[in-house]
Structures are given as C-alpha cells and as structure tokens.
Chains A and B, each alone.
Chain A
Amino acid sequence: EVQLLESGGGLVQPGGSLRLSCVVSGFTLSSFTVSWVRQAPGERPEWVSTLTDGGQTFYRDSVKGRFTISRDISTNTLYLQMSGLGADDTAVYYCAKAAPASSFENWGQGTLVTVSS
C-alpha cells in the first residue's frame, strides 16, 4: 500500500526557513516522480515543485530560488527546504506521488505551514 506522511510544518516568522519531510512507503523514490502541492485556506491547490524519478527538478516561479526539493533514497524521504518565507507561503503542504498518466495519484495528509510574526 502506498503511503506518504508529511512532517515539519509549523509557525515561522516572515523571512524564516523551514524544512518539510515526507516519508513514503509502498514505493521507492528512485522509481517515481513526486511533488509538493500546497493549499492555502479556502483556495485551490497550487503545485509547488516536482522531482522526477530521473532527478530533474521543477518549481513554480514564485518559489524559484527560495525552495529546494530533494530526496534521500536510503530513507525513502522527500524534502522541501523553504527559505525567505512570506505570508503568501502559508498553506497546508502535501506531498504527492505521480503515476504514468497522472501528476498526483496518491497524497499525504498534509502539514500546515503558517508564516506570521
């Protein structure tokens, strides 16, 4: 069974940094594309970043240069290092696994990031 479990969210001050983790099971990160998707309260989901099975990375423009997606294959953990956080980064952050014909087949339960002073 595929499972994804995020952690690392919390309250952070504007300009601060945070690292999110997503431990996966039921599949290996080296074989599947995975992504981070966020959702601000009452808003639509918003794609943030993708790491392909081949190691390519993609980011939305608003987080380029501030966020870094990475993985540790030995622990089957996906990361999102976030810096320069602002109020508009406040959201629930989900990690999601792709399938050959879909971007987000399986989702974690999410972790809440709140940027506020």
Chain B
Amino acid sequence: EIVLTQSPATLSLSPGERATLSCRASQSISDYLAWYQQKPGQAPRLLIYDASNRATGIPVRFSGSGSGTDFTLTISSLEPADFAVYYCQQRIKWPLTFGGGTKVEIK
C-alpha cells in the first residue's frame, strides 16, 4: 500500500498569508496525485488533480506542484473560506489512499 505523509499536521496562518502544504509518497506515484479541501460536516472537494491541474471552479490562488514522491499544495493568499483540512490522494495503485491531512487554522 502506498502511504502518503502530509506535513505539517497543522498550519496556523493569518488571512492574506501564503500556505505551503506538503505530501510525500512512500514510492513514486508519477503525477497521479490529487488534493482535496474538507470543511466540517461537508464532503471533501476536489481542488487539484494530476498534481498540478486545478479542478473546475477552483480559484487560481490554489496551485499544485511536484512529481514522483514529493508534492506541494500552495495557497498564494489565504481567504477566510480557505481555513479547512486538506488531504492528498494517490490513484496510481490499488488501494487508493489518502494522506493524514493538514489543518489550516486561523492564527
């Protein structure tokens, strides 16, 4: 099973600041990585697919990069609606797996 490790577990930032989230895979997953945002009581929402492609309707302040084993989600300038939990997920190999999440909280 491919293990995805996200860091940090919690990121405390202020609105307007830049957020940088990391996801590391236990083996190479090429660019078959997605990022999701989840708010309390809601389903995850797809942000980024195939490492760097924004999903439909996702603002340009969200960007993804990386390939192989190391990936980054960047939020260029945090809006109040961006404070949430973010998960990465790989789709190269069964079972599909998610990372443990990074909580972006208001400082």
Interface of A is mostly: strand
| Contact of B53 (CB < 8 Å), options: A46, A101, A106, A107 | A101
- How many A residues touch B, CB cutoff 8 Å? 21
B95 touches A107 (CB 8 A): no
| Contact of B98 (CB < 8 Å), options: A44, A58, A101, A109 | A44
Lowest 10 CB-CB distances: which A-B pairs, in order?
A: A107-B43, A102-B49, A47-B96, A103-B91, A44-B98, A60-B95, A45-B98, A101-B50, A101-B49, A102-B34
What is the interface of chain A, defined by CB distance below 8 A to chain B?
Answer: 35, 44-47, 50, 58, 60-61, 94, 99, 101-110
What is the interface of chain B, defined by CB distance below 8 A to chain A?
Answer: 34, 36, 38, 42-46, 49-50, 53, 55, 87, 89, 91, 94-101
B43 touches A109 (CB 8 A): yes
In the assembled complex, the CB of A77 is this many whole angstroms from the nearest CB of chain B, namely 19
A94-B43, A109-B43, A110-B43 are contacts. A103–B96 as well, Cβ < 8 Å? yes
A35 to B53, CA, bound (A): 22
Q: B89: nearest residue on chain A (CB-CB)?
A: A103
